[in-house]
Amino acid sequence: MLKRLLYLSASLLLATVLMASERSIYDFTMNSIDGKPTPLSTFKGNAVLVVNVASRCGFTPQYSALESVYEKYKDRGFVIIGFPANNFGSQEPGTNAEIKTFCSTKYNVTFPMMSKISVKGDDQAPLYKYLTDKQANPQTGGDIQWNFTKFLVGRDGHIVARFEPKVTPDSPEVTTAIEKALASK
C-alpha cells in the first residue's frame, strides 16, 4: 500500500511539473492599461519582450529605447508589452490613466501597456508567477529584483532569455536575442 501511495505521489508530481513546463505566456489574460481583458494569445506567433516598468525609476528613460526597439522590429513580428508595477520603492504610484498619459506624452510609447500589477510578493500576478518559476523556467526564473526586468519570449510563447534592469533594450545583447527569436518560426 505504501509503495502504491509513493508511486501515485511521484506520478502526480511529475505530471504537475510536465504541465507547468508546457505552459506559455499564451495561457494568460491580462488587462490592458484601459482595463480591457487582453488574452496574451493575441500575440501568438510574435516574439515578445515582457517588461515590468515604472515611471519614477532611474531606469525609466529605458522607455525611449523600448519604443525605439519596438519601432525597429514591430513589422517583423515583434511586440513589447509593458507591465507597470509599484513593487520597488513605490516608483509607480500612479493610476492606469496617469501611467498611460505619462508614457504617451513623455516617451511617445506606442507598444501595448497593461494595467498595473504586482510582479512579486503575495499578490504577484499569475503571469509573473509563471515567468519567475524556477521549476518551469530554470534558465530564466527567479524573483524580479527591480523595475525594467525583461523577458524575451519566442514565437511559441516560451521564454528564451531574461535581461536584468541594467541591460538596456537597445543593447547588442538584447537586439541579438530579438533577431534570433524573430528568425525562429
Helix, strand, coil in percent for the chain, rounding step 5: 40, 20, 40
Contacts of 178 (CB under 8 A, 6+ apart): 47, 49, 69, 73, 78, 152
pLDDT of residue 4: 55
Can you read off the three cell numbers belonging to residue 84? 507597470
Give the model confidence (pLDDT) of 74-97 as tens digits.
Answer: 999 999 999 999 999 999 999 999
Give the model confidence (pLDDT) of 18-40 as tens digits.
Answer: 444 589 999 999 999 999 999 99
Look at residues 26, 10, 12 and name the one whose alpha carbon lies nearest to residue 130: 26
- Which stretches does DSSP call E strand in 24-179? 29-31, 37-39, 47-53, 78-84, 150-153, 159-163
Catalytic residues, which ones?
A: 57
Contacts of 30 (CB under 8 A, 6+ apart): 37, 38, 40, 83, 114, 115, 117, 125, 127
pLDDT of residue 3: 55
pLDDT of residue 15: 44
pLDDT of residue 16: 44
Alpha helices (runs of H) in 133-171, residue ranges in sequence order: none
Q: What is the pTM of this model?
A: 0.88
CATH number belonging to domain 24-183: 3.40.30.10
pLDDT of residue 48: 98
Q: Please state, in angstroms and rounded to a whole number, the distance separating the CA atoms of residues 122 and 52.
A: 17
**Per-residue pLDDT of the chain in tens (185 residues, 90 and over written 9):** 655 544 555 444 444 444 445 899 999 999 999 999 999 999 999 999 999 999 999 999 999 999 999 999 999 999 999 999 999 999 999 999 999 999 999 999 999 999 999 999 999 999 999 999 999 999 999 999 999 999 999 999 999 999 999 999 999 999 999 999 999 87
